[in-house]
Amino acid sequence: MTTLRSINPTTGQQIAVYPALSLAESGYIIQATHHAFLEWRRTDFSARSNLLRGAAMVLRQKQTEYARLMAREMGKPVAQGRAEIEKCAWACEYYAEHGPRFLASKPVATDASRSFVTFQPLGVVLAVMPWNFPFWQVFRFAAPNLMAGNSAVLKHASNVSQCALAIEKVFRQAGFPESLFRTLLIGADQVPAVLSNPLVKAVTLTGSTPAGKAIAAQAGSLLKKSVLELGGSDPYVVLADADLEETVNTCVAARLINTGQSCIAAKRFIVVNSVRSNFEELFVRKMRDRSMGDPLEEGIDLGPLARHDLRDELHRQVQLSLEAKGRLLLGGAIPVGPGAFYPPTVLTDVKKGSPAFDEELFGPVAAIVPVKDEAEAIQAANDSNFGLGAAVFTRDTVRGERIAAEEIEAGCCFVNTFVKSDPRLPFGGIKESGYGRELAVFGLREFVNIKTIYVK
């Protein structure tokens, strides 16, 4: 039988163990969630908005408690955890405020006496979620879906079961119907059985590209709608006319957020040769200055990675990138002592064919890719299987906007700042970074039946 274990990555100590639910137990929960949907779909928008505002209140009341839980279960520094909880509250409020307008029927002029488009919920949506933003990933899917009238079952990553259970309680404490949002404590091996349950109407997965391919294949064979938010290797293009000090500050922050474990963390720094040595010098200095330690302590920039096996895999990718003729400018050694720590690391002269260029490095490791000019920078930025986020740095914002809008192959491209998700803006990728969108009106429309009504 699968067992789910929470292991504190700072100490290596086990803090909780949960036996996975049996298939029958998962089936009962899905049935209850389906029944909850049948009533929920008939509630009016204002009732749903009020409950979402209640969820935001519960989140804020328990902000520190949840931040400490994330620190213990996956190593997130507490200040970043508090910010994550605040963002979840914001998403709930955003959909509480704008959901009714997004969901209102839209009249269309035709030769009918009346014709309109209405947005009807689908039913139980399965969410398969990762550990890196244990609350945010779930709320950015749950808030629009509950607003739209769906119900949900969450299969969270196996190492953050305590967060998964805490999230279920947020909705209960806010007053949502008991079974509208349920956590299934199951391993990845049980996802196919859950997805094939006829009461589950759609699936959203945030996670790695291999997991996305597995879900997409099964969802395709069942003809169930899927949204996939997968990995990335975001390029940050630094042009000769960039404000270097400001750019480096942004690049360091963008690489180290969440100890480097973010799908939209900056991963490849594509720097034109004329500013390359200044960039490297400043970048290394600022990466070195970041503090690493117990994520429960205030003022710490980097915690441990979420699991020891992930740290070992990251180190293997660094080693292979060095063997592929990358040069080490900083870090690159596993520290002595307990905990899944990995230091800020900088590689340069990184080229295609090495893991630091081709794969996703999920930790505080920066890959600098020197290039001749703008054209070569765009080519290197796009020379990736991923297409999640990207950024361009230049004092010429017209040039930056053109490159961002017309040249870069990604779901979003920011100019002179780092990529972040925002409830007001659509979020998602292209290529092996997935498909579909979360957030804004686009996220809310993914799991509804966009239904045409035509009255003669």
* Catalytic position from the list 88, 251, 263, 412: 263
What one-letter code names the amino acid at 106? K
| Gap between the Cα atoms of 363 and 309, Å rounded | 12
Asked whether position 231 contacts ligand NAP by CB under 6 A, the answer is: yes
- CB 325 to ligand NAP: min, Å: 25
Binding mask 118-157 for ligand NAP (x = CB under 6 A): ----------xxxxx----x-----------------xxx
Residues of this chain, 175-194, that bind ligand NAP according to CB under 6 A: 187-188, 191
Nearer to ligand NAP, 52 or 310 (CB): 310
Per the structure block, which two tokens stand in for 200? Answer: 């589950």
Separation CA 382–CA 406 (nearest Å): 12
152 forms bridges with which residues in the sheet? Answer: 125, 181
Quick one: 72 or 155, whose CB is closer to ligand NAP? 155
Report the alpha-carbon distance of residue 233 to residue 357 in Å, rounded. 8
Q: Smallest distance, Å, CB 433 to ligand NAP?
A: 6
- Residues 356 and 322: their CA atoms lie apart, in Å, by 9
Return the number of the residue (161 or 348) whose C-beta is nearest ligand NAP: 161
Residue 229 is a catalytic residue: yes
How far apart CA 154 and CA 25 sit, in angstroms, is: 14
Residue with the CB atom nearest ligand NAP in the bound state? 207
For ligand NAP (CB under 6 A), the number of binding residues is: 30
CB nearer ligand NAP, residue 119 or residue 136: 136
Reference 359, options 386, 387, 326; nearest CA is 386
Angle at 448 between CA 442 and CA 454, to 5 degrees: 110
- The yes or no reply on residue 362 touching ligand NAP (CB under 6 A) is yes
For the question of residue 263 being annotated catalytic, the response is yes
31 burial via Cβ count (<10 Å: 0-12, 13-18, 19+) = middle
Closer of 77 and 429 to ligand NAP (Cβ): 429
Among 123, 207, 400, 443, interactor with ligand NAP by CB under 6 A? 207
Q: Which residue in the set 164, 388, 404, 440 belongs to the binding site for ligand NAP (CB under 6 A)?
A: 388
> Which tokens belong to 165?
């259970």
Binding of ligand NAP at residue 71 (CB under 6 A)?
no
Is there a contact between 246 and 415 (Cβ–Cβ < 8 Å)? no
Toward ligand NAP, which CB reaches closer, 156 or 286? Answer: 156
Site for ligand NAP (CB under 6 A): which residue of 206, 258, 259, 345?
206
Cα–Cα–Cα angle for 227, 223, 41, rounded to 5 degrees: 70
CA 247 – CA 75 distance, rounded (Å): 27
Cα atoms in the 13 Å half-sphere on the side-chain side of 343? 18
Residue ranges binding ligand NAP (CB under 6 A): 128-132, 137, 155-158, 187-188, 191, 206-208, 211, 214-215, 229-232, 263, 360, 362, 388, 429, 433-434
What residues act catalytically? Answer: 229, 263
